[in-house]
Amino acid sequence: MQVCDDFATRANRFRSLIKGDGLVLRPCAYDALSAIMIEKAGFSVVGTTGYGISASLIGQPDIGLVGYGEMVERVRTIVNAVKLPVDVDADTGYGNAMNVYWTVKNFAGIGASGIRIEDQVWPKRCGHMEGKQIIPTEDMVRKIRAAVKARDEENPFMIVGARTDARSVLGFKAVIERAKAYADAGADYIYVESPESMDEVETLVREIPVPVAFNIIPGGRTPPFTLKQLEDAGVRYLSVPMVCLYPAVKAMQEALEALKNRDLETMVKLGVSWREFNEIVGLSEWRRLELELLPENELKERYGTSDIDEIMNREKSKTEAKWTKK
């Protein structure tokens, strides 16, 4: 099937990125629109953010309130919106090794190019929060083996990542021990939550036999390392979960404040224009698809013409008037 070929191609592209040289940035999407913005910005991979999806889907913190089914459906919309590889945050896999097997099979089936599971107890919480608990190493090893089995059956190119939250629970030595065990179980990369110094980062890169990944959240537990520091240390993969969500929230706050103050001019300046937004979500491509698929008489009924370029130019000219403060 062509769709399966596309999924395999994306996953293989992602695999090449992870196995290559240099630091791969993973900006995270919380919905289809933020994924489109990441793709348009020129990045090579889209990540998903569990916290961002929890916040945008149900308006609640990342404490295990969003389940497997809700996550699958949100990820499906993200994969369908872009052509980039999509690397999925699948929390703990939503249960034991059997659940992880089912989770990976189904995320592979909707086109995920990568999937990452973590060693927290479910219900989990954001890795930068207090009160985390982690499962025994051998239980996580079983989960990774289940993930690899499901991956090999559905899409052998798919990347399986393993995250450990042991640093803030059991200490640094446990991180090294777990990371090696997870790599031996078949994880393609190890994501270490919240290392506490550059010495720790360098030790992890040196000791772990597969690529090492981290994340950066402004105000979180991870020190404010620079990208150059991380790249020089040999870090291969860096998630930036809130790169879309935090600025979006700030922009909404400012626009709503302007509207409350009855300042339409400021509100408009804070956002993109009607025309710009239509281009972001691909309206012109849908207009051209209408030309291809709809009968000429229907187009003339709708628009007075069947010339799509004329329709687009007319729409553009009607929406370019400037808002001015009266």
Asked if residue 151 and residue 67 are part of one domain, the reply reads yes
Where residue 6 falls among pLDDT bands split at 50, 70, 90? very high
Count how many domains the chain has: 2
CATH for 23: 3.20.20.60
Of the candidates 240, 260, 281, which is a domain's last residue?
240
78-92, pLDDT tens digit by residue?
999 999 999 999 999
* 214 and 268 fall within a common domain: no
Final residue of a structural domain among 184, 211, 240:
240
Q: Given 181, 205, 240, which residue is the final one in a domain?
A: 240
- Phi, psi at 10, each rounded to 5°: -65, -45
| pLDDT 10s digits, 264-292 | 999 999 999 988 999 999 998 998 898 88
In a domain, 115, yes or no: yes
On whether residue 326 sits in a domain, the answer given is no
Same domain for 30 and 48? yes
Q: How confident is the model at residue 247 (pLDDT cuts 50, 70, 90)?
A: very high
DSSP assignment of 179-223 equals HHHHHHTT-SEEEES---SHHHHHHHHHH-SS-EEEE--TTSSS-
Higher pLDDT, 188 or 316: 188
Asked whether residue 227 is assigned to any structural domain, the reply reads yes
Q: Do 22 and 103 share a structural domain? A: yes
Task: Indicate whether 167 and 109 sit together in one domain.
Answer: yes
Q: Are residues 219 and 264 in the same domain?
A: no
Shared domain check, 260 and 213 = no
Structure confidence at residue 320 (pLDDT)? 56
* Average pLDDT, integer, range 232-245: 95
Establish if 324 belongs to a structural domain: no
Instruction: Write down the pLDDT at residue 221.
Output: 81
pTM score of the predicted model = 0.92
- For residues 136 and 268, membership in a common domain is answered with no
Q: Is the predicted pLDDT of residue 323 greater than 60, yes or no?
A: no
Residue 323 lies in a domain: no
Tens digits of residue pLDDT in 222-237: 888 999 999 999 999 9
Residue 243: predicted pLDDT: 96
Q: Does residue 164 contact residue 192 with C-beta atoms inside 8 Å?
A: yes
Domain assignment present for residue 255? The answer is: yes
For residue range 289-318, list pLDDT tens digits in order.
988 898 988 888 888 887 777 777 776 666
In this predicted structure, the answer to whether residue 96 has a pLDDT above a threshold of 90 is: yes
Residue 57 counted as domain residue? yes
Same domain for 232 and 167, yes or no, is yes
325 domain-assigned: no
CB 126 within 8 A of CB 62: yes
Tell me the residue ranges of DSSP E strands in the chain: 24-29, 46-48, 86-89, 114-118, 159-164, 189-192, 212-215, 237-240
The answer on pLDDT for 18 being more than 80 is yes
Are residues 120 and 211 both part of a single domain?
yes
Query: Residue 324 pLDDT more than 60?
Result: no
Which domain range does residue 93 map to?
2-240
What are φ and ψ of residue 132, in 5° steps?
A: -75, 150
The torsion angles phi and psi of 88, rounded to 5 degrees, stand at -100, 135
Residues 223, 307, single domain; the answer is no
CB 140 within 8 A of CB 81: no
pLDDT of residue 288: 86
